Structure 1
Amino acid sequence: MDELKFVALDGEDLAIVSAHLQDAVLKVSDVIYRPQEKRLVLALNRFDWESAQADRPEYRRRRAALRFERVLSCKCRNVQQRGKDAVLNLLAVEFTPTDTPSGAVTLTFSGDSALRVEVECLEAELADLGPVWTTACCPMHLDAEPSTPPAATLSR
């Protein structure tokens, strides 16, 4: 499979990015906020949903980066900045417009943790960084069978 690279400039674009990042894991230390540069970067290990849904399913993770530009602020809920080795499990990334084109991006993690990123306008990029490795299982959620992002969002 080719490496992913997406640019998100609106809520629909970000929904596709969110589908590819469902069940990605990262450490708190992998969240880098640069207020002077108006940038937020997250280094993640994303679950490769496309390979898991292939004719011969293969469970893999890929190293990826999610970058937001034009960031005005970044606030966290239930994320301890001193707990750098704490692992966060990303569930969804959503954009809520406020005063167009500005808005808020919410990154929701398991355990009632979240990041709220206020942006001048939505300008995000998801890019695979190269390393790929197999994993023994497919992520599952208590209220469902193995997690499956909507098929329509997995097209390129």
Structure 2
Amino acid sequence: MSDARFEDGDEAPLRLAVHDAESLAVIAALVQDAVFPITEMTLVRQKRRFALMLNRFRWEYREAAEKAGQPFERVQSLLVFEDVLAVRSQGIDRADKDTILSLLDMSFTPGPDGTGLVTLVLAGDGAIGLQVEALDATLRDVTRPYLAPSGKVPEHDV
């Protein structure tokens, strides 16, 4: 018997759920450099749900694409946070409906009794803060992969 290898995985759509900071780091790596129109960010107050429809780079297939000489891909994914008590943003103009945002990182800062702050770091010094009652998030691919329009791996200064 041998350990599972990354190469053994199939190309099924991602569907991940997280309930702790370590698991959120996994999703953060998968959504790094995802882009989305500002209009694809929604808070449903009565359900305490915050959702983003992202166009994420498929980091999980980058190496395989490079080895095979295949083009890089993106896929539309739904990133949903439950139990959201409040949302704040800085460095973005919510009134400019033509704005395209780029997600660089996500983190969770725990508070008392399981509460905490999820911070979504955006390119250009923007950020979105989600005050949550508990960390409960999902990432789910909702379309088939498509060719990355730039044809390149995302790059940015650290």
Shorter-chain TM-score bucket reads: 0.7 to 0.9
Q: Which residue of 2 aligns with 1:154?
A: none
Higher helix fraction (1 or 2): 2
Rg larger in 1 or in 2?
A: 2
Superposed CA deviations along residues 120-145 of structure 1, whole A, max 9, x for unmatched, are 000000000023211211101235xx
User: What's the TM-score, normalizing by structure 2?
Assistant: 0.87
Deviations 1:69-113 (A, max 9, x none): 100000000121111220101000111101130000000000000
Deviation of the 1:36 alpha carbon = 1.8
1:103 maps to 116
Unaligned runs of 5+ in 1: 144-156
Cα distance between partner residues in 2 of 1:21 and 1:6: 12
* 1:141 match: 156
SS in 2 for 1:75: strand
Query: What's the secondary structure of 2:93's corresponding residue?
Result: coil
Provide, for residues 13-52 of structure 1, a one-character-per-residue CA deviation record: whole Å limited to 9, x for no partner. 1000000000000011000011221010000000001221
Q: Equivalent of 1:2, from 12, 15, 25?
A: 12
**Could you tell me how far apart the structure 2 residues matched to 1:53 and 1:107 are?**
26
Q: How many residues align?
A: 143
Indicate which of 30, 34, 59 corresponds to 1:20: 30
Q: Percent identity?
A: 34
Q: Tell me the TM-score normalized by structure 1.
A: 0.88
Q: What is the one-letter code of the residue matched to 1:88?
A: L
> After the TM superposition, which parts of structure 1 deviate over 3 Å for at least 4 consecutive aligned residues?
none
* Residues in 2 aligned to 1:114 and 1:142: alpha-carbon distance in whole angstroms: 17
